[in-house]
């Protein structure tokens, strides 16, 4: 994401160390590497084309044939080693995301309240919380959501809360992803403390209280 396109106050580390996006990119590289290795081995095993007529010439004798088959086997084994390297890199990205000071200090642990504010009417507040998948399988359609923010007098802030990303599809196995909650306070909002609960589709164990303090508008008593 370009610096001009990034929301104000959002660290570039959040995008750079997003395990979902990085794992997707590494998985694409993993698939490409294996296809390339298989294609090279197949071309070498079947031998060169014969005079441009589309037929393939037979390898030159049993010794060369054995060497070419060994090359194919070694190529596939190298592709598998590359896959292991990709898996290790993905795990490292997830670990680094939790160790970068700028992210760690601004993130809420999974069992902490997400507290924002005070925010003046018309203002925007942001914070990152973390969603973990300790399971050995990916989870599809992981979607954070919540009801309207509500004050003690019953006042509600409708459609004030959004999440970035809105959906994790999928959340990879044994990974952690930072989700930014963005609260936009309407210009006419009354001051007070507003509360809702963030739930996550397909992760029923997560329930994060979201608390937002709305300050008195500037220029008012």
The pLDDT tens digits of the residues spanning 82-118 come to: 656 655 665 565 555 555 544 444 334 444 689 998 9
pLDDT for residue 164: 95
The tens digit of pLDDT for each residue in 123-165 reads 999 999 999 998 899 999 999 999 999 999 999 999 999 999 9
pLDDT for residue 30: 56
* Closest to 179 measured CA to CA, from 161, 166, 170: 166
Beta strands in the chain (DSSP E): 107-108, 114-119, 124-133, 143-146, 149-151, 156-157, 161-164, 175-184, 192-201, 207-214
pLDDT for residue 15: 57
pTM given for the model: 0.51
């Amino acid at each position: 994401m370009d610096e001009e396109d990034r929301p104000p106050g959002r660290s570039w580390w959040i995008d750079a160390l997003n395990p979902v996006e990085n794992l997707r990119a590494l998985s694409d590289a993993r698939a490409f590497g294996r296809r390339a290795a298989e294609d090279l081995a197949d071309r070498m095993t079947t031998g060169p084309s014969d005079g441009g007529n589309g037929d393939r010439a037979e390898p030159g004798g049993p010794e060369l044939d054995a060497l070419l088959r060994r090359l194919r086997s070694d190529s596939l084994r190298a592709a598998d080693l590359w896959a292991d390297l990709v898996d290790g890199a993905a795990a490292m990205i997830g670990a680094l995301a939790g160790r970068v000071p700028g992210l760690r200090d601004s993130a809420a642990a999974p069992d902490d309240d997400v507290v924002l504010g005070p925010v003046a009417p018309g203002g925007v507040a942001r914070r990152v919380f973390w969603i973990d998948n300790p399971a050995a399988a990916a989870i599809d359609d992981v979607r954070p959501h919540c009801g309207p923010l509500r004050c003690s007098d019953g006042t509600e802030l409708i459609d004030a809360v959004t999440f970035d990303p809105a959906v994790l599809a999928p959340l990879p196995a044994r990974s952690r992803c930072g989700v930014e909650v963005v609260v936009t306070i309407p210009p006419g909002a009354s001051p007070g403390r507003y509360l809702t609960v963030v739930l996550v589709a397909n992760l029923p164990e997560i329930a994060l209280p979201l608390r937002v303090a709305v300050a008195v508008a500037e220029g008012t008593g």
